Structure 1
Amino acid sequence: MVKKIADFLEKVQLKMGVFFLSLFFFVIVLQMFVRYIGVSLIWTEEVSTYSFIWAVFMGASVMIHRRGHFRFSLVYEKLTGKKKRFLEMLIDFILLIFSLAILYYGIIATANFWNYNWYSLTDFKMGYMFISIPIMGLSMFVYGLDHLVDNYKELRRGE
């Protein structure tokens, strides 16, 4: 059950990451073009910054789901069997706690800054940018839980 949710969430986040990275690239190219012809669009800086933030946060949480990205390789490579599984479970548990902290403080930051307006596009609220933080924390939690369940099953099987 957790695996299906995590896999679906990864697909959604990858699409969101690609969208925001594409938006970032498009806005930067647009900004260079209009400056070349002597026009200034003040909103491009904010849109590019916030779209890049969204892309990075979506990509960072997906990297939690990809096995082997966060690992103490010096220690990990020297361990075998159950000791290796215990280390993986310890890392997964630490990442779970970290992701809960990101989720909690991300919700607080989003609530605090929700009604602030963008400088150049005053109809947009800063909450649209800050909500990426709790989304990242929640998805990291789901991915960490998926890994913890997998490692526990493998540990019980004796692998």
Structure 2
Amino acid sequence: MPATRAFSVRRMVVRASGALLAVERVALMGLMYLLTALILLNVITRYARFPIYWIDESAVYCVVWLTFIGASAMTRLRLDFAVTMLTERLSLQHQKIAKVISTGLVVVFGVALIVTCVLWMDPIGLARAGFDGRKLAAETFNFLYTEHTQTLNWPTWVLYLTLPIFAVSMTVHGLANLLEDLELVPRTPPKGFSLSELDGVN
């Protein structure tokens, strides 16, 4: 029974990773379309001598979200960069061990980033302050919930949500990769991505 339950947990991690990857795929396509539209609109309005001042900032934040979501998806697709000058000289068994260590470090980094985001965004402190950003800033000097962007005038914490989202999704993807590298679950090809064996860098 414990073995069956452990296998079920492993499958849940892989399925969660697959679901996240599907959402990331749609988000990446949507953000790419949005970024293209923003850039074209910026060019047209500048050519017409009627520039819209908030487009530049919108494009910058769009690129930021694209970067973090794309980095998370690349983790699951094993397209993250790897330096193989040392590992390619190892035996196959030692290469597998090095790969497990590398994937494990990705998970450790993801967990550390989650902890950092919790400490930085301080949701517990915000709840204790009655979800009042000014009160939290007065008590802790954390001005995250009182700042706004320069031209869009959006709350900056909304845009910074990409960091905890990236941390969680990268950790889930890293766990799924680690389970596959340890051969605890069969490797499943990603859906919606046409990748050959030569496309993976790591």
Bigger proportion of residues as helix: 1
Q: Same fold (TM over 0.5)?
A: yes
User: Structure 1 length as normaliser, TM-score?
Assistant: 0.86
Percent of paired sites with the same residue: 22
Q: Which moved more, 1:145-154 or 1:86-95?
A: 145-154
Contact 1:106 1:131 (C-alpha < 8 Å) held by counterparts: no
Question: In structure 2, how many angstroms separate the alpha carbons of the residues matched to 1:38 and 1:68?
Answer: 42
Q: Which has the larger radius of gyration?
A: 2
| 1:120 corresponds to | 151
Q: Which moved more, 1:19-28 or 1:96-105?
A: 96-105
Kindly indicate whether residue 169 of structure 2 is the aligned counterpart of residue 139 of structure 1.
yes
The alpha-carbon deviation at position 69 of structure 1 amounts to 3.0
5+ residue gaps, structure 1, are 155-159
The alpha-carbon deviation at position 84 of structure 1 amounts to 1.7
The alpha-carbon deviation at position 100 of structure 1 amounts to 1.8
Kindly indicate whether residue 43 of structure 2 is the aligned counterpart of residue 32 of structure 1.
yes
Question: In structure 2, how many angstroms separate the alpha carbons of the residues matched to 1:8 and 1:86?
Answer: 28
Contact 1:92 1:144 (C-alpha < 8 Å) held by counterparts: yes
The structure 2 residue matched to 1:129, chosen from 159, 174, 185, is 159
| 2:70 corresponds to | 59
Contact 1:64 1:70 (C-alpha < 8 Å) held by counterparts: no
Give the match's secondary structure for 1:20: helix
Two-structure CA RMSD over aligned residues (Å): 1.8
The higher-RCO structure (CA 8 Å, 6+ apart) is: 2
Question: In structure 2, how many angstroms separate the alpha carbons of the residues matched to 1:69 and 1:45?
Answer: 29
Question: In structure 2, how many angstroms separate the alpha carbons of the residues matched to 1:68 and 1:47?
Answer: 27
Question: In structure 1, how many angstroms separate the alpha carbons of the residues matched to 2:87 and 2:161?
Answer: 35
Question: In structure 2, how many angstroms separate the alpha carbons of the residues matched to 1:12 and 1:20?
Answer: 12
Contact 1:106 1:130 (C-alpha < 8 Å) held by counterparts: no
Q: Which string of whole-angstrom CA distances, capped at 9 and with x for unpartnered residues, describes residues 82-136 of structure 1?
A: 31221111001111111122223334444552332122122x2111210001111
5+ residue gaps, structure 2, are 1-11, 123-141, 185-202
Contact 1:85 1:151 (C-alpha < 8 Å) held by counterparts: yes
The alpha-carbon deviation at position 152 of structure 1 amounts to 1.6
Kindly indicate whether residue 173 of structure 2 is the aligned counterpart of residue 149 of structure 1.
no
Give the match's secondary structure for 2:151: coil
Question: In structure 2, how many angstroms separate the alpha carbons of the residues matched to 1:104 and 1:5?
Answer: 20
Number of aligned residues:
153
Give the match's secondary structure for 1:39: coil
Question: In structure 2, how many angstroms separate the alpha carbons of the residues matched to 1:109 and 1:17?
Answer: 26
| 1:90 corresponds to | 101
